[in-house]
Structure 1
Amino acid sequence: MKYSFPEHFWWGSASSALQTEGTREGQTTWDYWFAREPNRFHNGVGPQQTSTFYQHWKTDIQLLKQLNHNSFRTSISWARLIPDGIGEVNPQAVDFYNQVIDELIEQGITPFITLFHFDMPMAMQEIGGWENRDVVEAYARYAQICFELFGDRVLHWFTFNEPIVPVEGGYLYDFHYPNVVDFRRAATVAYHTVLAHALAVRAYRAGHYAGEIGIVLNLTPSYPRSQNPADVKAAHIADLMFNRSFLDPVLRGEYPADLVTLLKSYDQLPACKPEDSALIAEGKIDLLGVNYYQPRRVKCRDSAVNPQAPFMPEWFFDNYEMPGRKMNPYRGWEIYEPGIYDILVNLRDNYGNPRCFISENGMGVENEKRFIENGQINDQYRIDFISGHLTWLHKGISEGCNCLGYHMWTFIDNWSWCNAYKNRYGFIQLDLDTQQRTVKKSGEWFAATSLNNSFDK
């Protein structure tokens, strides 16, 4: 069967500054954490050992062209552009990002630019990071500088990538720096991130730029184990905390009332100011990026909460391992293609069908060299993964969902937070020793799909 996509559909991939560029002038939280605790990083590989985009941006953009990308999302490093977060702008960084943006446009590839992709300048973290409203103001200034420098050519801006992840990783579950386990501080970080987002949107609107501004959220549909009311309630609370805590403010301009009520009843609400609600209402977006990797399956708790344990989302649900689920054994994640359709239908039916696109979807696999045939990685599993998701994406579009494109994570194997190069995600294989780039079978498949704006299955 042939699956054709709408005219001007965005075909491309996504990456981030910190995961690709390498050494930068300003220190990030990742540089600092790696220097202190390299044991927390897979094989002791830190954020300096990336796919060297800072040196190879021109040839890498040629590879994007070879893959028939018409769009590509990456981020600007706040710590590269303004090394101390608040002071002078680094002219070398301006030159670098200008060159990247101009070359993308020259090659017919539309740049999608994210302002913050997990890489807090260490100077900002030292004064409290997102817990400090001064950092919120500093971010707003940084955003405005980016709009002024690049807004004449960049027409698609995103304030944050997956803003829930620094909340979870840094302030709940101890997998990102600063390794705090404290729900109320996590809620403050999340709330201030929304305020920072809204200030950036306000600055963008005030500048009357030609493009549009949005945010990228990782949406994990919450599926209850059963239709038992206790399971349904558990899934609802998981959805409130992990999806709607950002989705509602950026699309509706306000928080879900039942989330506010729930957190208030446990005294976990962040400190709010009277003018905050009007600011949040100004943060409504033009375009939503949706990162989808896996579903969240939950059930009601079947054991009592330890009242001495830190307050956690898991006070209200347990994770549920559905029998017979399809797994990516390397990443430990469930593969559930219909989830992408369910996200789009939810946006259509409950959020006014906003302009959106799939900004990340991907499959990380360990030790891909074992799949080399005639000098090329035969990653048919990745082709099956992409085409399976695109089939359900196509169904959503055919039923009126306002989805404008599909970006894969990622175009070249890159450094991945604490996992370094353990799992490879790219269309292009990276040899770490030689920095040689080799297109995988999935890259050829994607190039053909983009060229034809369709695929057969």
Structure 2
Amino acid sequence: MANLIFPSDFEWGAATAAYQIEGAAAEDGKGKSIWDTFTHQKGNILNNDTGDIACDHYHRYQEDIALMKEIGLDTYRFSISWPRVLPAGKGKVNQKGIDFYKRLVNQLLEAGIKPAATLYHWDLPEQLQLKGGWENRDTIYYFQEYAELMYSELGDLVPRWITHNEPFVVSMVGNLFGEHAPGYQDYNKALQVAHNLLVSHGLAVDSFRESGIKGEIGITLNLNHVYAKTDSKEDQQAKDYCDAFNNRWFLDPVFKAKYPTKLLALYQDKFGGFEIETGDMEIISREIDFLGINYYSRAVVEYAEDELLKHKTIKPEQAIYTAMNWEVYPDGLRDLLIRLNKEYTDKEIFITENGAAFADQLAADGQVHDQPRVDYLREHFKAAYQAIEAGVPLAGYYVWSLLDNFEWAFGYSKRFGIIHVDYQNQQQRTLKDSAKMFKQVIADNGLTD
């Protein structure tokens, strides 16, 4: 392999989310989130796990930042727990919550690590869910007020802001498939939630501009490049529907101020549509400074007459799969990045999440030899490099995740971290081989022989 050296200003980082790592679920005035409620309802989460303690990052953030510094991270993406700073989602501010994030950010800056803050990584305050959650249009404006609070408290310290993480997952996995909080299975609800999330994104961008903060703001979408099983007309139609559902339903409003025509017509015919107020699409499509993308795998589809969206995904044989049963397909990252740059945006793109879960174990030598993850990351770094070579303005890469953590519906059964967390042994942290490899990549600013 020839040396693959990234641009000199390229940023290497790792990402986490508040509910997955913080713990301290009811400490220092924090209010309940929908995930606190959902995880305590028996049967929702594998092994009935909860995020009550998680990685105890709330108490151990200094240790975790020291590990980030040891690895050499340029930047760290974290999320703010909305109910930690506004226990009821609105109104009274919890100063202890604000102070925690100030300590976290100041410590990052002291370590020479650029903070990147995500405003919403799924932990809606339970008090707002009781009023209808994201289906209730009022939540859009509560989110804007929460965003304004965080800009005023942290805006002089945090140079990169992300409004929402994966609105697809919030709307569809939480409100259509029922696998995530709040656990509904209702198409109308899911579509209204998706729309309201996007409007709240646009208003948070407006507030950011009005604040005068020196920094950049964007949104993170989980996207997967879609491939048809064959070149047949039917399979191509299946690909188009899958791409509209997975990708364009969120990309098109943000960058083109419209929903995919064919899918919108189908939804309106089948479900009677959802409420779009005058001016909403203009708000959603406010100019952003960058696009964040989370990429884990591709989708391969074939035509399925009986399905509402005329497609079903298939699992290619002879492929390698992660512990999540997701195909390892680095070329999909390259293809996706090139497509986004060509069809949607010439702005900077950040890979805000990419990584893999494998069945990691502490070896007899006290180390974690996670060669499958080492291979996974190296191949995806190569794909990112190929995209840059093809002209994509890729500006940074956040590995998911810094720590093994609470993996939503899968509880603690899946390990995505480059740092091993021993939940049974006082939360002991151990750098995996993948973290050591990543340290070398950062030091070299790329892949070298």
Aligned residues: 443
Paired residue secondary structure (2:285): helix
Q: CA separation in 1, counterparts of 2:16 and 2:240?
A: 31
Q: Does 1:396 align with 2:387?
A: yes
How far residue 295 of structure 1 moved from its aligned partner, in angstroms, is 0.8
Paired residue secondary structure (1:40): coil
Q: CA separation in 2, counterparts of 1:27 and 1:114?
A: 19
Describe the superposition over 1:83-126 as per-residue Cα deviations: whole angstroms up to 9, x where unpaired. Answer: 00011110101111001011111111000100000111100111
Aligned to 1:260: 264
Q: CA separation in 1, counterparts of 2:50 and 2:331?
A: 35
Q: Report 1:92-171 matches (<5 A).
A: 92-171=96-175
Q: CA separation in 1, counterparts of 2:256 and 2:209?
A: 17
Q: Report 1:1-150 matches (<5 A).
A: 1=1, 2-24=3-25, 25-37=30-42, 39-150=43-154
RMSD: 1.4
Aligned to 2:352: 359
Partner amino acid, structure 1, of 2:317 = P
Paired residue secondary structure (2:115): strand
Partner amino acid, structure 2, of 1:422 = S
Q: Does 1:438 align with 2:439?
A: no
C-alpha contact (below 8 Å) 1:78/1:119 kept by paired residues:
yes
C-alpha contact (below 8 Å) 1:347/1:354 kept by paired residues:
no
How far residue 268 of structure 1 moved from its aligned partner, in angstroms, is 4.2
Q: CA separation in 1, counterparts of 2:265 and 2:142?
A: 31
C-alpha contact (below 8 Å) 2:35/2:182 kept by paired residues:
no
Q: CA separation in 1, counterparts of 2:213 and 2:423?
A: 40
Aligned to 2:418: 427
Describe the superposition over 1:428-454 as per-residue Cα deviations: whole angstroms up to 9, x where unpaired. Answer: 111112111111111111011101102
Describe the superposition over 1:231-256 as per-residue Cα deviations: whole angstroms up to 9, x where unpaired. Answer: 11111111111111111222233333
How far residue 264 of structure 1 moved from its aligned partner, in angstroms, is 2.4
Q: CA separation in 2, counterparts of 1:387 and 1:450?
A: 12
Partner amino acid, structure 1, of 2:115 = P
C-alpha contact (below 8 Å) 2:333/2:383 kept by paired residues:
yes
Q: CA separation in 2, counterparts of 1:319 and 1:268?
A: 27
Residue from 284, 292, 298 that aligns with 2:301: 298
Which 4+ stretches in 1 moved above 6 angstroms?
A: none
Tell which deviates more after alignment, 315-324 or 109-118.
Answer: 315-324
What are the ranges of 5 or more consecutive residues in structure 2 without an aligned counterpart?
none
Q: CA separation in 1, counterparts of 2:418 and 2:253?
A: 34
Q: CA separation in 1, counterparts of 2:316 and 2:277?
A: 43
C-alpha contact (below 8 Å) 2:238/2:309 kept by paired residues:
no
Instruction: Summarize the Cα distance change of 1:260–1:44 in structure 2 as closer, same or farther, 3 Å threshold.
Output: closer
Describe the superposition over 1:346-384 as per-residue Cα deviations: whole angstroms up to 9, x where unpaired. Answer: 012111332111111111112x22x61521011111110
How far residue 456 of structure 1 moved from its aligned partner, in angstroms, is 2.6
How far residue 332 of structure 1 moved from its aligned partner, in angstroms, is 0.9
What are the ranges of 5 or more consecutive residues in structure 1 without an aligned counterpart?
306-313
Describe the superposition over 1:315-350 as per-residue Cα deviations: whole angstroms up to 9, x where unpaired. Answer: 42112222322222x211111010100111101211
Tell which deviates more after alignment, 199-208 or 317-326.
Answer: 317-326
Q: Does 1:323 align with 2:313?
A: no
Q: CA separation in 2, counterparts of 1:360 and 1:259?
A: 27
Describe the superposition over 1:215-273 as per-residue Cα deviations: whole angstroms up to 9, x where unpaired. Answer: 11111111111111111111111111111111122223333333323322324421121
Q: CA separation in 2, counterparts of 1:36 and 1:186?
A: 21
Instruction: Summarize the Cα distance change of 1:87–1:389 in structure 2 as closer, same or farther, 3 Å threshold.
Output: same
Partner amino acid, structure 1, of 2:258 = E
Q: What percent of counterpart residues are identical? A: 34
Partner amino acid, structure 1, of 2:56 = T
Q: TM-score, normalised by structure 2?
A: 0.96
Aligned to 1:308: none
Residue from 330, 340, 344 that aligns with 1:337: 330
Q: CA separation in 2, counterparts of 1:156 and 1:254?
A: 26
C-alpha contact (below 8 Å) 2:358/2:373 kept by paired residues:
no
Aligned to 1:450: 442
How far residue 40 of structure 1 moved from its aligned partner, in angstroms, is 2.2
Paired residue secondary structure (1:400): coil
Instruction: Summarize the Cα distance change of 1:317–1:106 in structure 2 as closer, same or farther, 3 Å threshold.
Output: same
Partner amino acid, structure 2, of 1:15 = T
